[in-house]
Amino acid sequence: MGDGGSGEKSEEPTPEKLRKLREDGNLPKSQDVIQAFMFIACFSIIALTMGYMGDTLSEFMLLSIKVSTAGHLDASTVVGLLIEAIKALMMTCAPVLAVAFFVALAGNYAQVGVLFTTKPLEPNFSKLNPISGLKGLVNMKKLVELLKTIVKFTVVAWMAYDSLKERARDVILTIRVPLYVGIKIIGQVIWDFSIKIGVFFTIVAAADLFYQRKKFIKDNMMSKYDIKQEYKQSEGDPQHKAERKQLHKEIINGGGHSNVKKADAVVVNPDHIAIALKYDKDGTSAPLVVAKGERVQAEKIKAIAKQVGVPIIRNVPLAQALNKMEVGDEIPEELYDAVAEVLNFVYALSEQQKAKHGGK
């Protein structure tokens, strides 16, 4: 891009950028999902344990009446009654609080998985800037949240009114029935109410989660220039990378000339290609390409081979096939027969040379 700018944000964030955002704790997450789960779970527990709560509170009330009518109250009696009150409160609230805690964990895990980062806790002094703070008072995100809160409050208020209107007579008549019966009636009202609100909150949570994820992608869109810069940082400039690869290849091929002295044979084509082969007869690996070259490099390989007495074999099809390999590669299975023929010829020639020198 000529101006070096970021360009139009038309590309979705790359996996690398998403990974960095996750490390920073920047993830698409809907609080409405957690609130919906907690509302449904907590109200369900309240409705299901209303009888237990009623029995616990009834026992405490009977104890309080008994103590108050005993005629004598001292400090120890009041302290004991206070302890019983705390026990009753804990016994009635504990199930709801425990469910709320685990549901909150499950709601966060369902959205972001396992994540531990301290980045959001690091101090950011730019947030102390009053001008930036004033600008942040009004933005689209807060307007959406305000509108969503108003809608939720209105709908919940209407549903509460509708539920109580249908059961108002039963609730009023609870003053004529025993306490535990009245509590069960109220529990049924709460159960009906929680089902309606729970369905509504679930719909709101699903819509908000969809919105948060879409907004997250939109806020983190990248331009083609950004993607190119990210690729350069993670993988290196493609042009420089290609140049380094070519240089590395030349170094390997050029440095392989010293391996020609250790080669068992050099296969040529006959003038343009030269490939040096090495085979360890005592080893278990296949023959290796220890040096290769074309034109000038091929001439250097052949010159070294002649100098040290490495046999040079002309085999055009085999040379062309071997030239497709890299230095250090093992000979593939489909070339075993052709290479074995060359090596057998070389070994036979070597035995003849030894026999000839031995005869002298």
pLDDT at 3: 44
Helices (H), ranges, 173-284: 179-219, 224-235, 238-255
pLDDT at 160: 78
pLDDT at 186: 74
Over residues 180-224, the pLDDT tens digits come to 677 677 777 777 777 888 888 888 888 888 888 888 888 888 877
| Average pLDDT value for residue range 142-153 | 82
Give SS3 for 288. strand
pLDDT band at 336 (very low <50, low <70, confident <90, very high): confident
Q: To which residue do tokens 């504990």 refer?
A: 94
Find the length of the chain.
360
pLDDT at 242: 59
| Average pLDDT value for residue range 4-26 | 72
Q: Look at 17-21, 225-229, 230-234, 271-275 and tell me which has the smallest mean pLDDT.
A: 230-234
Between 173 and 308, residue with greater pLDDT: 308
Between 8 and 207, residue with greater pLDDT: 207
pLDDT at 267: 92
pLDDT at 237: 53
Residue 263 has pLDDT above 80, yes or no: yes
pLDDT at 4: 45
pLDDT band at 348 (very low <50, low <70, confident <90, very high): confident
Helices (H), ranges, 24-74: 31-48, 50-68
Selection from 94, 109, 87 nearest residue 37 by Cα: 109
Selection from 257, 260, 294 nearest residue 277 by Cα: 260
Between 126 and 106, residue with greater pLDDT: 106
Q: How many CA atoms lie within 13 A of 323 on its CB side?
A: 18
Residue 320, C-beta contacts closer than 8 angstroms, at least 6 positions apart: 269, 273
pLDDT at 108: 77
Over residues 310-329, the pLDDT tens digits come to 888 898 888 888 888 888 78
pLDDT at 281: 67
Q: Are 208 and 148 in contact (CB under 8 A)?
A: yes
Q: Are 336 and 322 in contact (CB under 8 A)?
A: no
pLDDT at 294: 87
pLDDT at 125: 54
Average pLDDT along the chain? 76
Residue 133 has pLDDT above 70, yes or no: no
pLDDT at 247: 44
Give SS3 for 267. strand
Between 280 and 209, residue with greater pLDDT: 209
Over residues 60-104, the pLDDT tens digits come to 888 888 877 776 777 788 888 888 888 888 888 888 888 888 888
| Average pLDDT value for residue range 290-315 | 88
DSSP output for 291-343: EEEETHHHHHHHHHHHHHT--EEE-HHHHHHHTTS-TTPBPPGGGHHHHHHHH
- The domains located in the chain, with CATH, are 15-231 (no CATH), 241-359 (3.40.1690.10)
Between 311 and 232, residue with greater pLDDT: 311
